[in-house]
Amino acid sequence: MAGSEILFYENCRFEKFVKRVAMKNVESFEVSPGPNPHVVFFMPPVKGQPAVISLKKLCMETEMLVVCTKTSFNCDKCTLMWNSKGTAVLATATVEVDKSDKSYYGVSHLYILTTKGETIQVPLDKTGQPLHDVKWSPSGNQFVVCYGFMPSKVAVYNVRGDTVWQHGEAHRNEVYYNPFGTILAICSFGNISSGKIEFWNVETKQKINTFEVPSTTAFEWAPDGNHFITATTAPRLRIANGRCHMMSKGEKEELWQVCWKPSKAYSKTEIVTLTSAQQEAIANNVIVSNNRHPVDSLKQGAIKKEAYVPPHMRKPEANKPAYVSTKPPLSEHEKKLKSLEKKLEDISKLKEKKASGVTLELNQEEKIKNEHTLLEEIQQLRVSLAS
């Protein structure tokens, strides 16, 4: 993007652009995948005008054709996400300040814009609730949303915005489809330290398994769609820093990122229903990093929870003796000598300023003139104290 222009290149040949589009106030845009490219633009609100989300068809020979547009005054930022087919885009519109003061996270709305010209607002239970996570299924036919105040809700919608599958309330904040869209992982990560992961069969809508990987900050499916990796990464968390992949684990001084090597050598596999014994065995085989904080190893009740008392209101401990200074108090002559020495030090600083060319005030000049008198007084006091 150069100024108000967007330059399009073809087949990764960047020697020369194939199309130039001039648009004002474009903050972000996303190009659709697939053979029929469309582009969705986001223009934030300016001078009392609403924010605009505009979906256009990319035509190389002619001007771009407007397919559909959504305007909103409740939108400061917008995240755009195409499905794999390039037929629909999810727009998460967010305003950072909730004027009703009901949400610390601001207000969010979710819209679907399709290449057929449809603009749909996703019907969440209550408008304005925080959106924790939104993911398209790799199939491109549905998407999952984790939303609402804690305990949050998770729901799956089709491209028309109809609810296909809904979960109850629980503390979770992230969702992940495996690469084939056959398994959905619903997770409690980040500030929800339990690290609980639920695995669901998307086709049968049955739970496959549940277990916990505490303090997880990163999750990624393997290319085969059956394995996954979790990690506790820095700087998000430096305690229990490491990775966990079923039976294997690794630890370093600081782990910043973990990812799978991309591969297209795998195909969709059958999902097997596990017995209770198999689920328990899998949960027991998950090894989590042993780098725990020393506090975690303390016995329950070792740390007493007490109400905070400000320092000025704390009572002295009965058996703790009060602080008594071992230095003898200064006499009047010693106090006066200390005061005169401080004045003499100030005069030395003033003389340095004057020598460097700084113009002194009249009272500062008087202090310098009294230096000789101060020296005499200091000498007399020192003789008096020595005798």
Give the pLDDT band (50/70/90) at residue 295. low
Q: How confident is the model at residue 97 (pLDDT cuts 50, 70, 90)?
A: low
State the CB neighbour count (10 A cutoff) for residue 281. 11
Q: What percent of the chain has pLDDT over 90?
A: 2
Give the model's pLDDT for residue 300: 64
Provide mean pLDDT across the span 319-327: 62
pLDDT beyond 80 at 236: no
For tokens 């727009």, the residue is 91
Mean pLDDT of 296-314: 67
On the question of pLDDT at 292 being above 80, the answer is no
What confidence category does residue 249 fall into, taking pLDDT thresholds of 50, 70 and 90?
very low
pLDDT (tens digit, 9 = 90+) per residue, 334-361? Answer: 888 888 888 889 898 889 888 888 888 8
Cβ-based burial of 187 (10 A; exposed 0-12, middle 13-18, buried ≥19): buried
CA 138 to each of CA 92, 104, 143, 366: distance values in angstroms, whole numbers, following the listed order: 19, 32, 9, 85
Q: Over the stretch 160-207, which tens digit does the pLDDT of each residue have?
A: 888 888 887 888 888 889 888 888 888 887 777 677 888 888 888 888
Considering only residues 215 and 299, tell me which one the structure prediction assigns the higher pLDDT.
215
